[in-house]
Chains A and B, each alone.
Chain A
Amino acid sequence: MSGGWLSRLTAGLGRSAGRLGGQIGAVFTKRKLDQAALDELEDLLVAADLGPVVAGEVTERLRADKFDRDVTDEEVREALAGVVAETLEPVALPLNIDRSNRPHVILVVGVNGTGKTTTIGKMAKVLIESGEKVVLAAGDTFRAAAIEQLTIWGERVGAEVVARDVGADAAAVAYEALARAREIDADILLVDTAGRLQNKTGLMEELAKIGRVIGKLDETAPHDVLLVLDATTGQNAISQVEVFRDVAAVSGLAMTKLDGSARGGVLVAVAARFGLPIHFIGVGEGVDDLQPFDAGDFARALTSP
C-alpha cells in the first residue's frame, strides 16, 4: 500500500474520532473515575456508534481497573483503545487469494448504496497492480446505469467487464463471467451485485441463487463473499451482517466512507458478535482510497484526540 496510508487513515478517521477523543479529554482530565464519569464515558462510546453492549463492556473494564482512582484522559484513552483493539485484532485479516482457484471468485454483496461497485473498482486496481488478471461481472442488472458505472470502473483500472442487458438474470451474468474468466485464464473474478435490504427475502434468495449457479461451473466458487458496510449505518449493520451471513454465506467484511464524520463504531460490536474477518476500509471515492483493515490503527484513530 502507498506510503502515507496510515497518516491518511488517521487524518480521515481523525476528523470523526476527533470529537470522541476530545470529549474524553474534556471529561477525564485528572479526575476521579467515579460512577458519573463512567456513565459519561459510556455515553461517549454510544455516540461513536459502538452500541450499548460494547460501550458497557469498556466501562466495566475501567471500573474493575481504576474505579475511584485518579485517572488522566491518556489512561482512559489507552484502556478504551485496548478493548477496541482486542476485539478487532483477531478479525483484522487480509483477503487471501488462493492461486489454485482458476479464477478465485469474489462475490460482493450489501445493502443499497453502501459502496459495493466502488470497492470493486478499488480492489481491482490493487489486484491488477500486483500482477493479477482481473475480470469484473456486472451482476447489478437492476439499478439504472449500474452496468455503465461498473464498465467505467473497468476502463479506469484496465479490467475486462462481462455484462448483459438490464433486467438479465444476475446469476446468468455471473455464470457467463466465470466462463469468460476461465477462457482467458484470469486469476480473479469480482462479481458486483445489486444492493438489497436484508429484510427482503426474495432479493436475498437471489444471492443464494448466484452462488448455486456459479457453483455449477466450479463447485468451490464463490471463494469469498464480501459484505460491504457503510460507516454511516448505525446499529442496523448488526442485522445486515447476520442476515447476509446466513443467506449469502458472507466470508468477510469491508467498511466504506470512513473518511466522513461517521465513526463506524458498530464494527466493534459486529466483530464481537460474529467474528467475521474485516478485510478493507474505504476512505474516499477515488480509486486509491482502499486500505487494509488494521485493528490497532482503527482503535487508535477512534480514541485519539
Chain B
Amino acid sequence: MFDSLSGRLSEVFERLTKRGVLSEGDVDAAMREVRLALLEADVALPVARDFIEKARAQAVGQDVLRSVTPGQMVVKIVHDELVTMLGEESAELDLNAPPPVAVLMVGLQGSGKTTTTAKIAKRLVERDRKRVLMASLDTRRPAAQEQLKILGEQAGVPTLPIVEGQTPVAIARRAMQAAKLQSIDVVMLDTAGRLAIDEALMAEVAEVKAESQPYETLLVADALTGQDAVTVADNFNKRVGLTGIVLTRVDGDGRGGAALSMRAVTGCPIKLLGVGEQLDALEGFHPDRIAGRILGMGDVVSLVERAAETIEEEEAEKLARKVQKGQFDLEDMLGQLRQITKMGGLEGLMGMLPGVGKMKQQMADAKIDPALIKKQEAIILSMTQGERHNPKVIHASRKRRIATGSGTSVQEVNKLLKQHKQMVTTMKKVNKLGKKGLMRHGLPGLS
C-alpha cells in the first residue's frame, strides 16, 4: 500500500519536474497526492490540511510558476515546508537552572517513558558529566519501579530507593529532597502511563508537576501513533504543559507522521528520538530525515542529496586548501566524521529512505562502521582545542585522560591519531587527483 502510494507520488513529481511550465491545476493535482501521502503517513488530518494550504500558497506564487524549473521548485517547497513545520533548529534539553533540576517524563501507557528516562540519564552522566538521580513515580504498572531500578543499574545511574505505598506526589517530593541533600544536578522523574482523557490521572500528574517544578516536561510518544497524536499532544500540553517531545520507536518502519502532528499542535520542539531498546539508542532530531520519510519519496531525498553535495564540494575545496598547506588537524577530521554521520545518519533510518540505499552501499563498500565513527567523534570531543589543532602534544597522560573522557581505551586513542596521520598522507595524494576524489573514494582508514 505504501509502496504504491509513494510510487504514485514519484510519478506526479516526475511529471512536474519534467514540465517547463506549470498551471495551477498541475499544482493542485500534486497537492492532492501530497495530502494523501501525509494521511497515509499518519499525519493528523487538521495538520495535513493546514500543511497543504501553506505549501499550495507558496507553490502557485509567481516566482515559482515562472522559474526555470517549476516542478523542482514545488518539490522543494513541499519538503522545506515540512522541515519548517517539524522545526528547523535542533533543540537540546535545557537544564540551565539552579540544581537540582527536575525533568518530568509523561505520556501514554507503553510509549517508552521508563526506557527513555534511563537513556537520557545515562547520556547526562556520561556525556555531560552530570550527577543524576532517577525516581519512578509509577505505582500502577506491576514491577514498574523495579524496571527503572534495573535500568539504573545497567546505566550506572542511582535510583531513589523504593518505598511501598507512597503516592506519586510523595515520591516526587522525596526525590527532590534527596537530590538536595546529595547535591544532585538533575532529577529524572518517570511517571505511570496515562490516557490523555483520564481526568483523575491527568490531575495527578499536574500535581506532581506543581510539587517538583520541572524545568523540562517531556512528552514521550510512539512514532507509530496514528491520528490520536493530536489529542494526546494537545491534552498533555494543556493539562500539564510540555517543553518538548521525545519520539520513540523511530527504529521501526513507521512513516512518522505523528512527529508533524504533535509538533504542530503543541508548538513544542521534538528534542530527542528513541531508536532502539538499548540504553544508548538515543539520537538528536533531524527534521529533514523525518520529512523525507513522511513523504516517502526518492525525489525529495535526492533533492536534499544534491544540496548536500554542493556543501560537500565547498567543504572539500576548503579542506583541499588546508591539506595543501599541511593544516588538516583533528578539528577538521571531526568535521569529516560528522559529515559522514550526517550523510549516513541514524543507521536505522537510512535503509528506509528511498535513494539512501545507494549511499548505504557506498558506506558498506568503504567499510565505514557508524558505531566506530561515533566513538572516534567522542575521542576528538574529549580533546582540548589546543590538542585538536596540534596533535603532537598528545602524550601518554593526555591520552589516558582522553580515553577516560570518551569512554574508550588508550589503544583506541592511538589508533585514531594514527588514522589522522594516514589521512593527511592519503589526502595529499588525493589532492593531486583533484578535490572531488576525496569524497568519491571515502575516507581512508575508517575500517
Contacts and interface: CB of A to CB of B under 8 A. Distances in A.
A263 B231 CA distance: 11
A197 B253 contact: yes
A51 B39 CA distance: 8
A236 B252 contact: yes
Contacts of A151: 143
B141 interface: yes
Contact of A285 (B45, B140, B231): B140
Contacts of A222: none
A238 to B, nearest CB: 7
Residue of A153, A230, A261 ringed by the most chain B CB atoms within 10 A? A261
A160 B222 CA distance: 33
A48 B227 CA distance: 7
B42 A145 contact: no
Residue of B2, B112, B226 ringed by the most chain A CB atoms within 10 A? B226
Contact of A238 (B1, B143, B231): B1
Contacts of A233: 222, 224-226
A187 interface: no
B257 A153 contact: no
Interface in B9-60: 36, 39-42, 44-45
Given A232-B228, A234-B42, A262-B228, 5 more contacts: A112-B277, A113-B112, A145-B149, A232-B222, A257-B195
Contacts of B144: 145, 149
Interface stretch (B103-111, B265-273, B388-396, B423-431): B103-111
Nearest to B49: A43
A43 B222 CA distance: 23
Nearest to A200: B251
A115 interface: yes
Interface in A220-262: 230-236, 238-239, 257, 259-262
A142 B151 CA distance: 12
A168 to B, nearest CB: 15
For the complex, would chain B's binding face be called helix, strand, loop or mixed by DSSP majority?
A: loop
Given A111-B252, A153-B142, A230-B110, A260 B228 contact: yes
Given A145-B147, A149-B143, A232 B226 contact: yes
B158 to A, nearest CB: 16
Interface string A185-198: 00000000000011
A114 B225 contact: no
28 contacts: A46-B39, A46-B45, A47-B45, A49-B227, A49-B228, A111-B249, A112-B277, A144-B154, A149-B141, A149-B143, A149-B147, A151-B143, A152-B142, A197-B251, A231-B228, A232-B222, A232-B226, A232-B228, A233-B226, A234-B224, A234-B254, A234-B257, A234-B258, A236-B252, A236-B253, A261-B231, A262-B228, A266-B226
Ranked 7 nearest A-B pairs via Cβ: A234-B226, A113-B110, A234-B42, A145-B147, A148-B143, A152-B142, A262-B228
B150 interface: yes
A215 interface: no
Interface in B166-224: 195-197, 222, 224
B94 to A, nearest CB: 27
Interface in A36-51: 43, 46-49, 51
Contacts of B443: none
B442 to A, nearest CB: 27
A261 B225 contact: no
A143 interface: yes
A53 B1 contact: yes
B255 interface: yes
Contacts, number: 138
A260 B108 contact: yes
B232 interface: yes
B303 to A, nearest CB: 25
A122 interface: no
Nearest to A203: B277
A85 B281 CA distance: 42
Contacts of A285: 109, 140-141
B309 interface: no
B347 interface: no
B92 interface: no
Contacts of A235: 1-2, 40-42, 226, 255
B36 A52 contact: yes
A233 B44 CA distance: 12
Nearest to B192: A285
Nearest to B140: A285
Nearest to B114: A144
A263 B108 CA distance: 15
Contacts of B148: 144
A199 interface: yes
A142 B227 CA distance: 31
B146 interface: yes
Contact of B42 (A146, A153, A156, A236): A236
Contacts of B1: 53, 235, 238
A199 B42 CA distance: 18
A295 to B, nearest CB: 21
